[in-house]
Amino acid sequence: MLKKERAAYVMKKLDEVFPKTPIPLVHSNKFELLIAVLLSAQCTDERVNKVSSKLFSLANNPKEMSKISVETIYSLIKPCGLGPKKSKNIVSISKILTERYGGKVPSTYKELEKLPGIGHKTASVVMSQGFGHPAFPVDTHIHRLAQRWGLSKGKNVSQTEKDLKSLFPKSKWNKLHLQIIFYGRSFCSARGCDGRKCEICVTCFPKRIKPFIANKA
């Protein structure tokens, strides 16, 4: 298969397996989504949802969240890991949004990435899932699958994001991002597939003999 043929197959297969793509992180507004994505760094969505429900019961907007102490927030989000840093960032973000943005989450990459603890991937998720703008958030898992499936040889997530955006229609980016995550968790996880087991890997590279080792992000 040529790269474009693999991309077409992957898109078709993912539509068959995951026609619907519910957003994994539970939230009721853009601020909750922003904080939930921040909490998801090195943490499962399931754990984030359990933790965030307790946090958002105390405050679900920047003004109220900015009034809660770092210590209180840390006590709630500790199970997510990186608690000290995340709790400080949550308070700082809440104060910035309250003082500079009227309590609203900004809708540009430039403004989002200026917020404490918010990198390009987090900003991309918020732009995609919060504002509906075309985006292709790439984490280490999508980075790994893109290489296994021969869609990118990127040595980092930035290059992989560029490669995936060039291969797939912009109208499909938001859905594909989630579909790849869902497929990876179900069929092509880091330990569950070595590039020779899941249907997409086998179809894209039927003659692959050795386990595939992806470039680390």
Residue 170 bears catalytic tag: no
To 10 degrees, what angle do helices 45-58 and 70-77 make?
150
To 10 degrees, what angle do helices 173-186 and 140-148 make?
80
Q: Rounded to whole angstroms, how far apart are CA atoms 34 and 129?
A: 10
Residue 139 bears catalytic tag: yes
Range 96-103 average pLDDT? 98
* CA-to-CA dists, residue 133 to 126, 168, 182, angstroms: 9, 15, 20
Given the residues 86, 110, 114, 121, select the one marked as catalytic.
121
Q: What pLDDT, in 10s, does the model give residues 52-98?
A: 999 999 999 999 999 999 999 999 999 999 999 999 999 999 999 99
The pair of structure tokens assigned to 174 is 């938001």
Given the residues 139, 163, 165, 197, select the one marked as catalytic.
139
Residue ranges, comma separated, of all CATH 1.10.1670.10 domains in the chain are 3-21+136-204
Q: What CATH code is assigned to 3-21+136-204?
A: 1.10.1670.10
This prediction's pTM: 0.94
Q: What pLDDT, in 10s, does the model give residues 120-173?
A: 999 999 999 999 999 999 999 999 999 999 999 999 999 999 999 999 999 999
Q: Rounded to whole angstroms, how far apart are CA atoms 170 and 183?
A: 20
pLDDT of 216 reads: 84
The fourth-level CATH superfamily of domain 30-130 is Hypothetical protein; domain 2 (1.10.340.30)
What ranges in the chain are assigned the alpha helix state H?
Answer: 3-17, 30-39, 45-58, 62-65, 70-77, 83-100, 109-112, 120-125, 140-148, 157-167, 173-186, 199-204
Model confidence at 217, pLDDT cuts 50, 70, 90, reads confident
pLDDT of 200 reads: 98
pLDDT of 20 reads: 96
Q: What are phi and psi of 110, to 5 degrees?
A: -60, -45
Q: What pLDDT, in 10s, does the model give residues 188-203?
A: 999 999 999 999 999 9
